[in-house]
Amino acid sequence: SGVEYSEVRRPCRIMVLLNPNSGRGQALSLFSTHVQRMLTEADAVPTLVITEHQNHAQEIVREADLSQWDALVILSGDGLLFEVVNGLMEREDWEEAIQTPLGILPGGSGNALAASINRYSGAPALLGEELLVSCGFLLCKGLVSPLDLASVHLASGQRFFSFLSLAWGFVADVDIESERYRQVGAARFLLGTLVRLASLRVYQGRLAFLPAHEEGTVEDIVEGVAASSFTRSSSTNSSFHSTSPPDSLSSSFCSAMSCGPVANPSPTHSTFCPENSAPDDHTLNTLHNASNNAIKLLQAGSHTTSMLKGPPDSLLPPLDEPVPTHWTQVTEQGFVLVLAMYQSFLSEDLLAAPEARSGDGCIHLYYVLEGVSRAALLRLFLAMERGTHMACECPQLVYRQVRALRLEPLSPQGAITVDGEQVEYGAIQAQIHGGLGKLISG
Ligand code: ADP
Ligand code: MG
């Protein structure tokens, strides 16, 4: 499909960054039992670097002599790759540094990129050690493909790069709350989802985006047809696409909870801005203006923008200016979740964006509007295990392919995550840079 592949040279010198505490704390033994020999036999000589604390990988990569390495590989969860990507982008020579092929071996509890790479290779969906072995083989093959990175801006003026996802509302809450279930490994997201359903909330905010294809043009229609025929052929060809979500599980779980619409959170969650106690427009405007002024002061004082490395974000106006008129503004303001994906898997077992491909230059944007019932939302997440959530035909679920987006939360409290890690809550915008990095994939 026009995507260019190259191969890592042999013998290949690989720096393997390993977080010993990732997942259930077994990354080191997973490396020696499943990966080390395979790599050595493939003439891909691994040098193990064990991280000692948070941000250690970022520091190492920022300072490393990259001429000594043909690839940087992480054995951990997605969190460690986030550090590596941003460490590379913080360097003076970021343009060259980010061309270093990156690889991932799943050893964490959030292994979304590993699951995505496995999918792009055409292999059936795998979990746990089977996924690790599959990713080990792909690393030995050493095929390199483009990696899209999203440039993300926060209201504080901070900017960083994201390779996986941006989430607000339900998915972000699950990301954060499920940290406490890390001992169950990859199943923590599904468990967190079930727990979160019991206290579902609606968030107020504004969402705007730049569609990837001009609406209504020939290009849009052709792309739409191509996308739908791809979905159809891939769902008939591969055994891991089933069309029917496990209804018995969803209905029995739903009957254990009250399954009404979720527009009114229970009184015990009143701090999270139920509709009947929402701050009035005047209060919100005052808060909004005050924070905008604070941001301007911060930006003026620290010259943040002039110090930023990385490519210019030509699609994004400053966060305190309106989005261009050719962007699409979502008219509704009550959201259960907003999820932007640039790889196919959200976690090892959630195929959130089945159409996503490495290097497709696209943000796959999903959002669920208020009014969805708990039962319907549960059905969506169960279907997402096989990537069939769009087939649920849930009227509150919207899917768009976009190049840039802006999210402005109006609810005073909530969480936003980028690549599964919590970031400061507030206005956020992002644009995709197609093929800015390189990924060792199938
Ligand atoms: P998991 O998927 O299990 O969460 P991650 O790779 O996402 O695994 O790592 C989780 C966090 O651990 C990351 O934010 C990373 O910065 C941090 N980290 C890396 N090395 C260490 C270490 N030696 N001790 C503690 N935390 C670490
Ligand atoms: Mg993580």
Please tell me the predicted confidence (pLDDT) of residue 281. Answer: 53
Confidence of residue 239 (pLDDT cuts 50, 70, 90): very low
Ligand 1 atom with minimal separation from the 52 CA? 23
Q: Name the residue with higher pLDDT: 14 or 300.
A: 14
Please tell me the predicted confidence (pLDDT) of residue 7. Answer: 82
Q: Is the CB of 185 under 6 A from ligand 1?
A: no
For residue 105, the domain's CATH number is 3.40.50.10330
Same-domain pairing of 191 and 124: no
Query: How many CA within 13 A on the CB side of residue 86?
Result: 23
Host domain of residue 228: 165-277+290-435
Cβ atoms of 113 and 163 within 8 Å: the answer is yes
285 domain residue, yes or no: no
Final residue before a domain boundary, out of 148, 176, 197: 148
Final residue before a domain boundary, out of 122, 148, 174: 148
CA of 15 to the centre of ligand 2 (A): 20
Q: Name the residue with higher pLDDT: 86 or 265.
A: 86
C-alpha distances (whole Å) from 11 to each of 105, 162, 253 are 20, 30, 53
Q: Whose CA is nearest to atom 12 of ligand 1?
A: 54
Q: Name the residue with higher pLDDT: 156 or 292.
A: 156
CA of 340 to the centre of ligand 2 (A): 17
Residue 104 has φ and ψ, to the nearest 5°, of -135, 135
**Digit-coded pLDDT (tens) for 205-228:** 999 999 998 765 444 444 443 443
CA of 411 to the centre of ligand 2 (A): 26
359-366 mean pLDDT: 97
Q: Name the residue with higher pLDDT: 76 or 10.
A: 76
Ligand nearest to the CA of 76: 1
Given 78, 148, 360, 419, which residue is catalytic? 78
Q: Is the CB of 56 under 6 A from ligand 1?
A: yes
Query: Does the pLDDT at position 352 exceed 50?
Result: yes
Same-domain pairing of 49 and 138: yes
442 domain residue, yes or no: no
Tokens 């980028």 label which residue? 418
414-423 mean pLDDT: 95
160 domain residue, yes or no: no
Ligand 1 atom with minimal separation from the 23 CA? 3
Residues around ligand 2, an ion, CB closer than 5 A: 77, 79, 110, 420
407-432 mean pLDDT: 96
Which residue in 76, 101, 130, 7 sits closest to 421, CA to CA? 76
Which amino acid, one-letter code, is at 281? Answer: D
Longest dimension (CA), the chain: 67
Q: Is the CB of 58 under 6 A from ligand 1?
A: no
156 domain residue, yes or no: no
Query: Does the pLDDT at position 4 exceed 70?
Result: no
Query: Does the pLDDT at position 286 exceed 80?
Result: no
Please tell me the predicted confidence (pLDDT) of residue 41. Answer: 92
Q: Which of 16, 17, 18, 21 to mutate to test the pocket of ligand 1 (most atoms within 8 A of CB)?
A: 21
Same-domain pairing of 128 and 189: no
Ligand nearest to the CA of 74: 1
93-109 mean pLDDT: 96
196 domain residue, yes or no: yes
Per DSSP, the three-state class of 16 is: strand
Which residue in 293, 355, 300, 298 sits closest to 320, CA to CA? 293
Please tell me the predicted confidence (pLDDT) of residue 275. Answer: 34
Same-domain pairing of 129 and 263: no
Of the ranges 21-30, 65-74, 169-178, the best mean pLDDT one = 65-74
Per DSSP, the three-state class of 10 is: coil
Which residue in 429, 371, 431 sits closest to 168, CA to CA? 429
Please tell me the predicted confidence (pLDDT) of residue 251. Answer: 34
Same-domain pairing of 117 and 178: no
Number of domains forming the structure of the chain = 2
Cβ atoms of 163 and 437 within 8 Å: the answer is yes
Same-domain pairing of 43 and 174: no
Q: Cis before residue 261, ω within 30 degrees of 0?
A: no
Q: Please report the beta strands in 342-418, taking only residues with DSSP state E, as ranges in sequence order.
A: 363-369, 397-409, 416-418
Number of neighbouring beta carbons within 10 Å of residue 86: 21
Same-domain pairing of 342 and 372: yes
Query: Does the pLDDT at position 110 exceed 70?
Result: yes
Same-domain pairing of 227 and 362: yes
Q: Is the CB of 86 under 6 A from ligand 1?
A: no
Please tell me the predicted confidence (pLDDT) of residue 3. Answer: 54
Q: Whose CA is nearest to atom 25 of ligand 1?
A: 53
Rg of the chain taking only CA atoms, in angstroms: 21
Output the CA angle 137-185-399, nearest 5 degrees: 80
Q: Which of 16, 19, 75 to mutate to test the pocket of ligand 1 (most atoms within 8 A of CB)?
A: 19
Please tell me the predicted confidence (pLDDT) of residue 9. Answer: 78
Q: Catalytic: 320?
A: no
Q: Is the CB of 21 under 6 A from ligand 1?
A: yes
Please tell me the predicted confidence (pLDDT) of residue 303. Answer: 36
CA of 113 to the centre of ligand 2 (A): 11
266-295 mean pLDDT: 41
Cα torsion 171, 404, 333, 214 to 10°: value is -120
CA of 238 to the centre of ligand 1 (A): 34
Whether the CA torsion 302, 306, 312, 313 is positive or negative: it is positive
Q: Which of 16, 18, 22 to mutate to test the pocket of ligand 1 (most atoms within 8 A of CB)?
A: 22
Please tell me the predicted confidence (pLDDT) of residue 181. Answer: 82
Query: Does the pLDDT at position 290 exceed 60?
Result: no
Of the ranges 49-53, 105-109, 187-191, 308-312, the best mean pLDDT one = 49-53
1 domain residue, yes or no: no
Cβ atoms of 349 and 383 within 8 Å: the answer is no
Q: Whose CA is nearest to atom 22 of ligand 1?
A: 53
Q: Whose CA is nearest to atom 16 of ligand 1?
A: 54
229-243 mean pLDDT: 34
Final residue before a domain boundary, out of 84, 113, 148: 148
Same-domain pairing of 179 and 137: no
Q: Is the CB of 106 under 6 A from ligand 1?
A: no
For residue 405, the domain's CATH number is 2.60.200.40
**Digit-coded pLDDT (tens) for 116-151:** 999 999 999 999 999 999 999 999 999 999 999 999
Same-domain pairing of 137 and 85: yes
Confidence of residue 198 (pLDDT cuts 50, 70, 90): confident
Please tell me the predicted confidence (pLDDT) of residue 5. Answer: 67
Same-domain pairing of 202 and 304: yes
Query: Does the pLDDT at position 271 exceed 70?
Result: no
**Residues with Cβ < 8 Å from 60, sequence gap 6 or more?**
17, 49, 51, 87
For the record, the structure tokens of 289 come out as 């203006």
**Residues with Cβ < 8 Å from 313, sequence gap 6 or more?**
151, 153, 431
Distance (Å, whole) CA 47 – CA 368:
44
Same-domain pairing of 71 and 211: no
